[in-house]
Amino acid sequence: MALETTRRDEIAAAANQVRIDTIRMVHAAACGHPGGPLGMADFMATLFMEHLNLDASNRHAPDRDRFVLGNGHTCAGYYSLLAQKGLIDRDALLTFRKFGSPLQGHPHRNHDLGIDFSTGSLGNSLSVSLGMALAAKQNGWDTRVYSASSDGESQEGQIWEAATAAAHYGASNLTVMVDFNNVQIDGYMRDVMDVRDLRAKYEAFGWHAVDVDGHDIDAIDAALVAAREETERPSALILETLIGKGVSFMENQPGWHGVAPNDEEAAKALQELGAS
């Protein structure tokens, strides 16, 4: 069933808030990774606002849904969504990457904040997510496990070990959302190390895999609904996105993978995003 207009608007607003928070957090930290969270904002907001069964009231429930941010460097956007869902104080967001903050430069497991796993080293996340999914199946829980990944992370061999095992064990409660923005630290992914057709790869590994416009909230929602209805295979959503989406001078620029905006750039970015 398609999203109602008001719901779609709410998700779009949450995504825009992710972008605003990301700029503010990375600017305040004077370091970090703004490009990825801006590109991922639409699918992350759709997941967190419409599908992921996680909020302040159920954070300690053992059988709630789980989320693992494989591309952990994009955690500014993740923290924004946890704040929007009431798990992190909004005031705490500006402590991101600072000494003593629970909002580490890459996520560290913290049940109180709803951070389900420690990540940051690319390649490890899908295996961990599979373990969570298999534990839920062993326990007879309806838990769904969502894992965010990326085209760059798909260069890691361990991803494909996990993909093999997830299909072998029929982990239909596992969904990976792959941010495909064609950008990695050293430049455009297709120049550095082309991972080619990830949908075809996941399909060949035995997954339910689909290409999705990573900025079309309706399409993202429909793909997540289809993943939920899949009963035999794990699901992979290959989400084509634009790094830096929403800030004109950051869009499709590899240089904005891991550089903080200065005062002037942050002000301009926030203006473009309509921040008040």
User: Smallest distance from the beta carbon of 58 to another protein, in angstroms?
Assistant: 15
Distance CA 108, CA 115 (A): 7
User: Smallest distance from the beta carbon of 11 to another protein, in angstroms?
Assistant: 28
Nearer to another protein, 158 or 253 (CB): 158
User: Smallest distance from the beta carbon of 162 to another protein, in angstroms?
Assistant: 5
- Specify whether the CB–CB gap between 214 and 180 falls below 8 A: yes
The beta-strand segments (E) located in 83-197 are 145-150, 174-180, 183-184, 187-188
User: Smallest distance from the beta carbon of 116 to another protein, in angstroms?
Assistant: 7
User: Smallest distance from the beta carbon of 256 to another protein, in angstroms?
Assistant: 26
* Strand 235-240 relative to strand 208-213, pairing: parallel
Give helix 35-46 / helix 217-229 axis angle, nearest 10°: 60
Nearer to another protein, 81 or 167 (CB): 167
The beta-strand segments (E) located in the chain are 66-69, 145-150, 174-180, 183-184, 187-188, 208-213, 235-240
Nearer to another protein, 22 or 71 (CB): 71
Residue-wise burial string across 27-47, b where 16 or more C-beta atoms lie within 10 A, e elsewhere: bbbeebbbbbbbbbbbbbbbb
For 33, phi then psi, to 5°, come to -130, 95
Nearer to another protein, 127 or 182 (CB): 127
Count of Cβ atoms closer than 10 Å to residue 125 Cβ: 27
User: Smallest distance from the beta carbon of 121 to another protein, in angstroms?
Assistant: 5
**Residue 273 DSSP class:** T
**What are the residues binding another protein (CB under 8 A)?**
62, 66, 108-109, 116-121, 123-124, 126-136, 138-139, 157-158, 161-162, 164-165, 168-169
Nearer to another protein, 100 or 157 (CB): 157
Nearer to another protein, 128 or 242 (CB): 128
Counting Cβ atoms within 10 Å, is residue 152 exposed (0-12), middle (13-18) or buried (19+)? buried
